[in-house]
Amino acid sequence: MLLFFLSSGLFLGWSLGANDAANVFGTAVGSRMIRFKTAAIICGVFVIIGAVIGGNGTSETLGKLGAISALGGAFTVALSAALSIFVMVRLKLPVSTSQAIVGAIIGWNFFANNPTDTSILIKIVGTWVVCPIIAGIIAAILFILVRFLVNRSRLHLLQQDQLTRYGLIIVGAFGAYSLGANNIANVVGVFIPSSPLHSLVFPLIGTFSGKQQLFLIGGISIAIGVATYSRGVMETVGSSVVKLSPLAALIVVMAEATVLFIFASQGLNTFLTANGLPPIPLVPISSSQAAIGALVGIGLVRGGGKGICYSLLGKISLGWIATPILASIITFIALFFMQNVFNQTVIAPKTETIQIQSHTTEPMEMDRQIQNKKISVFYFHENLHQAVQGNYSLSMGQIVTNSFNHFMHVKRLDEKALYPGLIGLLKGCCVGDTG
Amino acid sequence: MALMQNLTKLLISRIDEYLDAISEGMIVFQQGLLDYLENRMTDFEERMAMVGQYESRADKLRREIENQLYSHSLIPEMRGDVLGLLEHLDNIIDVAKETLTQFSIEVPDIPMELCADFSDLTVSTVQAGEELVSAVRAFFRELSRVKDHVHKVYFFEKETDRIASNLKMKIFRRDMDLSRKMHLRDVATNVAKISDEAENVADRLSIYTIKRTI
């Protein structure tokens, strides 16, 4: 059943692999610098590694925007994102999976009557706007640096070709890793809150969390997309769309991979905050738009902006607004049909209003913790009632219980740590009072 | 990876050997013509045979480079240009060989008064060829210096044309048989042809250099 619901996300992953792998290895394969088979293997392996190791950051951001509580809802959201991509492609407008999925989540928020965190939304949209600019700046700096080095190095053309090949493989692997880390949230991010997968413990190796298992499945779907359908796109990108020298292509991929990495790396974020610097929002971005930003950066250094297609840039800006709006409308309608026509649960019923705020706990473990907490709260109520009922009325006991819950909710404290002390204190108070 | 490195090293040395063969062929061509002008015919025949050997070696090396570049997909975006460059460079030594063969077969009777002009023509045309070889070397190793050498190729080509025109004028103003005049004119044209070929290759090289710039 899980695989059926995951199918829409896996389809998104497949299409992402088929399309976006060209941003990483397109020129290398199109210009015959690297064979497709080599590129597909490297890309597939590093996308999976990136997804499993580094996919957490962007997934958390999407989770903050809207945690889709039922598998049926997650399926519909991913499917609607895929549909909106299809519509945008048919309209010949530039589209990004990241923008479609964000729009779809907002659509779910509307449907579920959940408020959308505008600060998170502003952060995400701001990142989309900033990302091509950063990619352009990085590419321009790298271009000037590489041009200087090439002119000074006196390397033979063949040696330069050999180094460029190695560079394309290394930077391509980095690009694939960053693509997996940054974009895996688009593929399986919406399934995380409702996923029934549990952590697997491997002795001497460690724990493979439910979230990582989802990332692995999503990563594999991207890798399958790369292996089965990306060849044509790579050859088109490499030989027809933009004629780039392999060295310039290397710079574009490096800039694009760096931007994808910056907006996906939790390690970098921790390092920045530890050194008193502002954190970078971990947001899924469009690799195509980062690549276009890098191309424009090189174009500006080369020819001072001559020959840049400003109408294309305008279309991309339009995509930042049009894609999420379209995706949210499609999602809203699709959720309505799923719920009312196909009788599927798209929003999980609210059971217990316990707020858990944890930046380090895995969702699957969170589920278990919620269950534990529910049990603890039940026993706590019992203990509390017994403790206070000795001297106070039942309604007073209820007041104390509610106050405690309210205190916990507001202060976001771990009740487990407080139970023994509080119960002891209450018992002590009661004993004291009677005495 | 090691295989690739060895192949790259081998190809670099083959390209260098090829350029050496063209360059040495040019020098031997110049010496051969000067031998002819000074009537050292045994030396001339020897030099002519040497130019033939350089030409054969250059052909062999060019084919080997061509095969290696294509069979191992090296410099895919530039290999067409590189092969075109090497093939056109080969024309220069072919012309040198043909010119010496023409001298050997037709034995043009050059008046003593025109020997200095023929000598100047030979030196100038060979210099154009030499500068072209340097430009091609720079194309492979030091792109920024290509322009300097190409500029000199153009200079020596013009100089060769000037010397050739003056020489032809002197030939046709002399009191000689028309057939001899026409023969000497043909010989002078063939000697100057090396610089014309060098100019053609230099034109291509200028374009390839722009393409190679990142």
The pLDDT of residue B200 is above 60: yes
HSE value, Cβ hemisphere, 13 Å, CA-based, for B51: 26
Average pLDDT over residues A87-95: 80
Residue A81 pLDDT level (bands cut at 50, 70, 90): very high
- Sign of the Cα torsion A23, A24, A26, A27 reads positive
Nearest to B74 among A143, A155, A158 (CB): A158
- Provide the CA B211 distance to its chain's centre, in angstroms: 24
Contact A157 B5 (CB under 8 A): no
What long-range pairs does B114-118 form, CB within 8 A, spacing at least 24? B114/B167, B114/B170, B114/B171, B114/B174, B114/B184, B115/B37, B115/B38, B117/B163, B117/B166, B117/B167, B117/B170, B118/B33, B118/B37, B118/B167, B118/B188, B118/B191
pLDDT digits (tens, 9 = 90+) for A239-259: 655 667 888 889 999 999 999
Cβ–Cβ below 8 Å for B141 and A154: yes
How near does any CA of chain B get to the CA of A292, in Å? 18
* Local structure of B26: helix, strand or coil: helix
User: In this structure, are residues A106 and A124 in contact, taking their beta carbons and an 8 Å threshold?
Assistant: no
Q: How many CB pairs under 8 A join A and B?
A: 50
What proportion of chain B, given as a percentage, has pLDDT over 90?
A: 86
* Cα–Cα distance list, B25 to A62, B43, B92, B129, B200 (Å): 71, 15, 9, 10, 19
pLDDT of A153: 83
- Nearest by CB to residue B140, choosing from A143, A156, A248, is A156
In this complex, do A246 and B73 lie within 8 Å of one another by their Cβ atoms?
no
- Does position A154 have pLDDT exceeding 90, yes or no? no
Does the beta carbon of B76 lie under 8 angstroms from any beta carbon of chain A? Answer: yes
Residue A32: its pLDDT value, please?
81
Q: If DSSP states are collapsed to H, E and C, what string results for B117-147? A: HHHHHHHHHHHHHHHHHHHHHHHHHCHHHHH
Q: How confident is the model at residue A135 (pLDDT cuts 50, 70, 90)?
A: very high
Name which of B169, B123, B95, B130 is nearest B31 in CA terms: B123
pLDDT the model gives residue A432:
42
Quick one: pLDDT at residue A354?
46
Q: What is the pLDDT of residues B142-157, one digit of tens each?
A: 888 999 999 999 999 9
Which tokens hold the place of B102?
């023409």
- Considering chain B, what percentage of its residues have pLDDT values greater than 70? 99
Q: Under a CB-based contact definition with an 8 Å cutoff, are residues A97 and A85 in contact?
A: yes
Q: Which residues is A200 bridged to in the sheet? A: A208
Give yes or no for B138 touching A (CB within 8 A). no
Q: Max Cα separation, chain A?
A: 96
- Name B98's Cβ contacts closer than 8 Å, sequence gap at least 6: B190
pTM of the model: 0.77
pLDDT in tens, A269-305: 899 999 999 889 999 999 988 988 898 898 888 876 6
- Burial (CB count <10 Å: 0-12, 13-18, 19+), residue B5: exposed
Residue A244 CB: number of other CB atoms within 10 A? 21
B214 and A247 in contact by Cβ < 8 A? yes
- In chain A, residues with a C-beta closer than 8 Å to the C-beta of B142 are 154
Place of tokens 């895919």: B76
Which of A87-96, A256-265, A412-421 holds the top average pLDDT? A256-265
Whether the CB of B75 is below 8 Å from some CB of chain A: the reply is yes
Q: What is the mean pLDDT of chain A?
A: 81
Q: Do A158 and B12 touch (CB under 8 A)?
A: yes
Contact A143 B214 (CB under 8 A): yes
* pLDDT for res A253: 93
pLDDT for A355 beyond 50: no
Instruction: Specify the pLDDT at position A127.
Output: 92
pLDDT for residue A347 is more than 80: yes
Which chain A residue's Cα is nearest to B146?
Answer: A151
| Inter-chain CB proximity A157 and B77 less than 8 Å | no
Tokens read off for B147: 């322009």
Place of tokens 């407008």: A93
Cβ contact B212–A151 (<8 Å): no
d(CA A78, CA A327): 10
DSSP summary character for residue A241: I
Q: What is the pLDDT of residue B126?
A: 96
C-alpha A297/C-alpha A376 separation (Å) is 58
**pLDDT over 90 at A317, yes or no:** no
Both structure tokens of B48: 């002519």
As a 3-state breakdown, chain A gives helix, strand, coil percent values, each rounded to 5, of: 75, 0, 20
- A161 neighbourhood in chain B, CB within 8 Å: 8, 74-75, 78
Residue A418 has a pLDDT of 56
Share of chain A above pLDDT 70, in %: 77
Question: Closest partner residue to B8 among A147, A150, A158, by Cβ?
Answer: A158
Nearest CA to A323 among A22, A83, A79? A83
CA of A170 vs chain B CAs: smallest distance (Å): 13
Of A60-64, B101-105, B163-167, B197-201, the least confident? A60-64
User: Is B143 part of the contact surface with chain A (CB cutoff 8 Å)?
Assistant: yes
pLDDT on residue A314: 79
Q: How far apart are CA B103 and CA A388, in angstroms?
A: 125
Per the listing, tokens 């509080």 go with A422
Contacts of A155 in chain B (CB under 8 A): 141
Distance between first and last Cα of chain A = 61
Answer whether B8 sits within 8 Å of A159, measured CB to CB.
yes
Whether the pLDDT of residue A356 is over 60: the answer is no
Residue of B nearest to A33 (CA): B76
Count the Cβ atoms, other than its own, within 10 Å of residue B190. 17
Q: What pLDDT shows up at residue B57?
A: 96
Closest CA to A329 of A88, A163, A45: A88
**Which of the pair, A360 or A160, is modelled with greater confidence?**
A160
Section A371-388 average pLDDT: 53
Mean pLDDT of A167-189: 94
Residues whose CB is less than 8 angstroms from the CB of residue A286 and which lie 6 or more positions away in sequence, other chains included: A96, A97, A98, A99, A128, A131
Query: pLDDT class for A394, splitting at 50, 70, 90?
Result: very low
> Quick one: average pLDDT of A314-337?
88
Which residues of chain A are at the B interface, by a Cβ-Cβ cutoff of 8 Å?
Answer: 31-33, 143, 146-147, 150-151, 154-159, 161-162, 165-166, 245-248
pLDDT of residue B78: 87
Computed over every residue of chain B, the mean pLDDT equals 93
Report how far residue B75's alpha carbon sits from residue A428's, in angstroms, rounded to the nearest whole number. Answer: 85
* Contact criterion met (CB < 8 Å) for B212 and A247: no
d(CA A308, CA B171): 59
Which of A154, A158, A165 has the CB atom closest to B11's CB atom? A158
A95 falls in which pLDDT band (50, 70, 90)?
confident
pLDDT of residue A88: 84
Out of A147, A158, A166, closest to residue B75 by CB: A158
- Distance from the Cα of A144 to chain B's closest Cα (Å) equals 10
Residues in contact with A51: Cβ distance below 8 Å, sequence separation at least 6, in sequence order: A180, A181, A184, A187, A215, A216, A218, A219, A222
| ipTM of the complex in this document | 0.88
* Cβ contact B75–A161 (<8 Å): yes
Q: Give me the pLDDT at residue A33, please.
A: 85
Closest-CA distance, A263 to chain B, in angstroms, reads: 29
Facing residue for A248 by CB, picked from B15, B139, B214: B214
Q: Which two tokens stand for residue B71?
A: 């069979």
Q: In the structure encoding, which two tokens stand for residue A203, read together?
A: 């002795």
Compute the radius of gyration of chain B from its Cα atoms: 19
B77 token code pair:
């975006």
Contact assignment for B78 to A147 by CB distance below 8 Å: no
Q: How far apart are CA A197 and CA A207, in angstroms?
A: 13
Please give the pLDDT value at position B19.
96
Taking Cα atoms as reference points, which of B117, B109, B136, B118 lies closest to residue B32? B118
Closest CA to B188 of B102, B73, B90, B81: B102
